[in-house]
Amino acid sequence: MSFVPSMLCTRLRRGARRTLALCALPVLAGGTSNAWSQAEDPWAPAAYFARSDDPPPAERPARDRWPDRDDQLAVLDDEDLDRWAAQANLGRAQAAINAGDHLAFRIPQARGNCAKAIRWYRRAEELGSDLAASRLGAVYSDDDCPQRNLGVAIDWWRKGVDRGSFESARALSRHLSERGTRHYDPVLALAYAEVAADNPEPWRDIVPPPADPAAIAPELTPGQISEARGIAAAAREAMRARAAGFAAAPPEETLLDRDLAESTVRIVAIDDLRECERNLIGNCRGVRRLAYVRVINASEEFLRCSFEVDTIEGKRNTPTTLQRETLVAPHARRFLRLGRISGTPGSDALRADCAPVRGYAEAVTRGTCIAQPAEPFDLESVYPKRAQEVGMEGRVELYVATNAREGAPLLVEVSRSSAAPLLEAAALDAARRMHYRSDCDAGYRRFAMEFRMVW
């Protein structure tokens, strides 16, 4: 089956009980006809190719959790231990934490994991991880571990509190308030119970919760309560000092700064996970950061720009190249996301190029210049079989720019999407293989491809 993909929706037969629907839906590309209305239309090229991506949020680092959600979601996959070990051996502190957590999660099934987890947590401590102390306290207090030593655990937890860990304060309050045990210390128990009570995140999902300060205080003399509150005040001050040391916004490093013809390009790495910033010894080896590009177009023409960064893919620990192609409107500044990088790429791993598209600005402001598909397209080839098998759905909105009255597009990019990367890639590939017609030397069009299952 074939179609002109500007307005059709078709069903692909997939058995007696279900069909798959793939729709190519028209999206208004703007009906403007002069420079002023082009500028006012947020989807016209002058406005669309002047807009920027949102920067990473200026969030403070999480105290007791893995900062990288991709790593956290992978904790159950056995093959991830190998990649974390490889990253840790190259100096990434967070990877050593991940390897230790991976093993510690499996301690009830394999007691030998205790020693392995301890080795990785100690390696993380050497590499400067601020999470290592809290993790070591947890393993040394684990009843399933032959290495169990509550005195050692308490020492690590006290370091963990100074590094901002409310989880360490919770653990201390519980263990130090247990009567009849070797480490019973109601003064320290009260101190850390009060610190744990300061946690801005609720403890309702944590079992057991911190010890209740109101239950400990009646057992103490006024002098002991004063001593406990002095210890708590010192711990709070250490935690405040630690928190105050973080910048308001994630730190940024310039990787590439280049002046091109009538434009300036800068590729930056932003420590949005605070993985480098939170390191106790300033170790930034192998950290995962977001790469963005800043582009300034000082010319009267649209610029067609391409950017590439060679890096290491975080989930499989294999080489990959982040790529982005786009237009930049005349006299515009854009801030565009490239993706997540590992470590700091060398200068030969960074590439940027911008060239003017002669006449595009004039053509766009003269009229509507709407590009239309010039030929039918094989619809059934678009929906990836792997996506169909798992019922993957989503809507991908595309922006197409052309620089000829008929032919292949100059540029296709995703403008908005509710789909997985697999479907985005399929939609991009389909739109790039189409030919378009326009009544201008430069044209543009927006349309959506909607992948959905119909039962």
CATH code of the domain occupying 2-29+368-454 = 3.30.2420.10
Task: Look at residue 441 in the predicted model and tell me its pLDDT.
Answer: 83
CATH (residue range 69-244): 1.25.40.10
What is the pLDDT averaged over residues 403-412? 92
- Which helix (H) or strand (E) segment holds residue 454: the answer is strand 443-454
pLDDT at 218: 94
Confidence of residue 122 (pLDDT cuts 50, 70, 90): very high
The pLDDT, as a whole number, for residue 30 is: 44
**Number of residues assigned to the chain:** 455
CA–CA dist 421, 140 (Å, integer): 42
C-alpha angle with apex 35: 30 to 39, nearest 5 degrees? 60
Of 427 and 8, more confident: 427
pLDDT of 6-25, one tens digit each?
Answer: 344 555 544 444 555 556 56
Q: Taking Cα atoms as reference points, which of 452, 453, 445, 451 lies closest to residue 6?
A: 445
205-262: pLDDT as tens digits: 777 899 999 999 999 999 999 999 999 999 999 999 998 999 999 999 999 999 988 8
Residue 24, pLDDT score = 58
| Tokens encoding 255 | 């990787």
Cβ atoms < 10 Å from Cβ of 425:
14
Spatial separation of the C-alpha atoms in residues 451 and 325, rounded to whole Å = 24
Residue 71's pLDDT is 66
φ, ψ of residue 278 to 5 degrees: the values are -80, -5
User: DSSP labels for 400-446?
Assistant: EEESSSEES-SEEEEEEE-S-HHHHHHHHHHHHH--EE-SSSSEEEE
* Extended beta strands in 101-214, E state: none
pLDDT (0 to 100) of residue 200:
86
Alpha-carbon distance of 142 to 64, in angstroms, equals: 18
CA distance 253 to 271: 8
Who has greater pLDDT, 117 or 60?
A: 117
Domain-wise residue ranges, the chain: 2-29+368-454, 69-244, 252-361
Q: What is the pLDDT of residue 36?
A: 41
pLDDT above 80: residue 329: yes
**Check: CATH 2.60.40 for 252-361?**
yes
For the chain, count helices (H), then strands (E): 15, 17
Q: Give residue 39's pLDDT.
A: 47
Mean pLDDT of the chain: 86
pLDDT above 50 for 181: yes
DSSP state of 371: -
Has residue 321 got a pLDDT over 90? Answer: yes
180 Rama class: left (phi>0) / alpha (psi -120 to 50) / beta: left
